[in-house]
Structure 1
Amino acid sequence: MHYGIIGFPLSHSFSEKYFTNKFQTEGILGCDFKLFPIKEISELPELLKTNILSGFSVTIPYKEKILNFLDDIDETAQKIGAVNCVKVDYDAVNKPFLIGYNTDIFGFSMSIKPFLASQHERALILGTGGASKAVKYVLDELGIQSTFVSRLPQISNCASYEMLNKNAIKNNLLIINTTPVGMFPHTFEKPNIPYEFLTKQHLLFDLIYNPVETEFLKEGKKYGTLVENGMNMLALQAEKAWEIWNAQ
Structure 2
Amino acid sequence: MRKFGLIGRNIDYSFSRKHFSDKFNEENIDAEYLNFDIQSIDEFPKVIKNNIISGLNVTIPYKEEIMQYLDHLDAHAQSIKAVNTIKFEKDGSICGYNTDYWGFLESIKPHLENHHQKALILGTGGASKAIAYALELLEIDYRFVSRKPAKDELSYSELDENILKKYTLIINCTPLGTSPNIEKCPDIPFDHISDKHLVYDLIYNPAETKLMKLASEKGAKTINGLEMLKLQAEKAWSIWNS
With the shorter chain as reference, the TM-score category is: over 0.9
**Within the alignment, does 1:142 sit opposite 2:138 as a pair?**
yes
The alignment-based identity, stated in percent, is 49
Which residues in structure 2 correspond to 1:1-248 (within 5 Å)?
1-29=2-30, 31-89=31-89, 97-154=93-150, 156-247=151-242
Moved over 6 A (4+): none
Specify the code of the residue in structure 1 equivalent to 2:161.
K
The one-letter amino acid paired with 1:222 is E
Matched residue of 1:211: which SS? coil
Shift of 1:188: 1.9
| Distance of 1:157 and 1:101 partners within structure 2 | 28
Partner letter of residue 129 of structure 1?
A: G
Provide Cα deviations, 1:132-186, integer angstroms capped at 9, x if missing partner.
11111111111111001111223x4311112112222222100001111111232
Q: Is the 8 A contact 1:41 1:62 kept in 2?
A: yes
Which amino acid in 2 is paired with 1:65?
E
Return the alpha-carbon distance in structure 2 between the equivalents of residues 101 and 78 of structure 1. Answer: 8
Gaps of 5+ in 2: none
Counterparts of 1:188 and 1:51 in 2: how far apart (Å)? 40
> What secondary structure is seen at the aligned counterpart in 2 of 1:100?
strand
TM-score, L = length of structure 1: 0.93
CA contact (8 A) 1:89 1:98 kept: yes
Structure 1 residue 90 displacement after superposition: 5.7
Note the aligned Cα RMSD (angstroms): 1.4
TM-score, scaled to structure 2: 0.95
2:232 maps to amino acid: Q
Q: Deviations over 1:78-109 (max 9, x none)?
A: 01211111112365xxxx53210011111111
CA contact (8 A) 1:4 1:34 kept: yes
SS in 1 for 2:89: strand
Per the alignment, in what secondary structure is the counterpart of residue 169 of structure 1? helix
Q: Distance in 1 between matches of 2:88 and 2:140?
A: 35
Deviation, structure 1 residue 207: 1.0
How many pairs were matched up?
A: 241
